[in-house]
Amino acid sequence: MIETKPTAELMRLRQWAREKIDAGSEPPWAWYQYMKLIESIEAILAGMSVTTTENSRQSEEHPGKRLRLVDSTSPRDDARHHPYKPKIQLPM
């Protein structure tokens, strides 16, 4: 796996969280949050290692095919109006 800047930053953050846990001075709720952070970073890194966009058709340049803004042809007031139903007061 080629280490890119985001990967290096994630690994540095994971190491920081492990050091916080290893210090043993964090309250239980913080320990749990650090563990979730470590697990999330490991899942992201694992996903990054198997994901590639080098040969993806979506990542290719498509000259001439670009998104364009279009105007709506339907009127805005065609939605059905819901009748007003007052709240029913229940007996006490």
Q: By residue range, what is the domain housing residue 30?
A: 5-50
For the chain, the residue count is 92
Task: Assess if residue 60 is contained within a domain.
Answer: no
> Is 68 part of any domain?
no
- Evaluate whether residue 30 is within a structural domain: yes
In a domain, 37, yes or no: yes
In a domain, 43, yes or no: yes
- Rounded Cα gap, residues 61 and 1, in angstroms: 25
Alpha-carbon gap, residue 78 to 20, rounded angstroms = 58
Count: domains in the chain: 1
The pLDDT score that the predictor gives to residue 83 is: 73
Would you say residue 17 lies in a domain? yes
The predicted pLDDT at position 87 comes to 78
Residue 41 lies in a domain: yes
Which two structure tokens, joined as six digits, stand for 84? 């007003």
Residue type, 48: M
pLDDT for 41 equals 94
**Full pLDDT tens readout for the chain, 92 residues:** 455 688 899 999 999 999 999 999 888 889 999 999 999 999 999 998 887 666 656 555 656 677 777 776 766 666 666 677 777 777 86
pLDDT score, position 68: 75
Q: Cα–Cα distance between 9 and 49 in angstroms, integer?
A: 15
Cα–Cα distance, 18 to 12 (Å, whole number): 10
> Tell me, what's the pLDDT at 60?
57
**pLDDT value of position 42:** 95
Report yes or no on 69 lying in a domain: no
